[in-house]
Structure 1
């Protein structure tokens, strides 16, 4: 079955539906990132402080405490489940675009690896492997870049399709 570029052949109403879905999904995704920015967890040290606390820092502007067992399991559990669904849905749409297969493979597999590295890394850092804070930041950035590119690719091909040869 040839699915490369099939998105462009969908009726315009279906393409509009898909584009609106991806835009709303993106708003949700980037709202989550703004929350990360609010907690100052965009740097390796900020990530560590957000999950392990800063009680020892007598000059801290905002006192943060180490997250508890239940809170950590809830964070990891909900994020891995929800992000897996987000990237599954977006990845399915990416496979329907007209784009090189190797790039589609990267754009659809990498986010799952980044989800595991980011949220599994948060858990491992919380358990004491603090150097994972660098992996968390790197994988989080890569996950955001692949989401952004994938979403833009799908929306662009829904709203501005190339002429498909009959």
Structure 2
């Protein structure tokens, strides 16, 4: 079965359906990033503070406490599962585009590595391995870049003849 370029053969209504899905998925994804920005976890110190707390800092604007084990497992569990579905669906759509195969393969696989590094890194940071905040930050950047480029390619391919 030939998947490469299959998206170009779809009828207009299926392309509109896929386009609407990618738009709504992107709104959800980037809304999540806005939430991350609101919790000041976009810088290494903010990432550490979000999971380990800041009780020792008497001048902190917002007091944060170390997350409990149950809360950490819930965060990690729900994010790994939901993001796996997001990238599985986006990867499935990328598979049927005519994007060069090496780029397509990278964009289909990289997010899964980033999911494991981001949320595994959050767990290890929580256990006290403080340098993992840099892994979390970098893998989060790669995950977002992969999502953005992948969604852009799928959307652009919907209008390519």
What TM-score does the superposition give when structure 2 sets the normalisation length? Answer: 0.99
- The equivalences for 1:9-24 within 5 A come to 9-24=9-24
Tell me the SS of whatever aligns to 1:18: helix
Cα deviation 1:99-133 (Å, max 9, x = unaligned): 11111110000000000000110001001111000
Tell me the SS of whatever aligns to 1:48: helix
Deviation at 1:2, TM superposition (A): 1.6
- The answer to which structure, 1 or 2, has the higher relative contact order (CA under 8 A, 6+ apart) is 1
Correspondence 1:128 to 2:128: yes
Moved >4 Å (runs of 4+): none
Structure 1's unaligned 5+ residue stretches are none
Cα deviation 1:30-74 (Å, max 9, x = unaligned): 000000000000011100000000001111111000000110000
* Aligned position for 1:155: 155
- Two-structure CA RMSD over aligned residues (Å): 0.6
Q: In structure 2, what is the Cα distance between the partners aligned to 1:142 and 1:61?
A: 30
Q: In structure 2, what is the Cα distance between the partners aligned to 1:32 and 1:3?
A: 31
Tell me the SS of whatever aligns to 1:60: coil
Structure 2's unaligned 5+ residue stretches are none
- The equivalences for 1:3-152 within 5 A come to 3-152=3-152
Q: What is the number of residues matched between the two proteins?
A: 161
What TM-score does the superposition give when structure 1 sets the normalisation length? Answer: 0.96
Tell me the SS of whatever aligns to 2:23: helix
Q: In structure 1, what is the Cα distance between the partners aligned to 2:50 and 2:8?
A: 44
Deviation at 1:18, TM superposition (A): 0.3
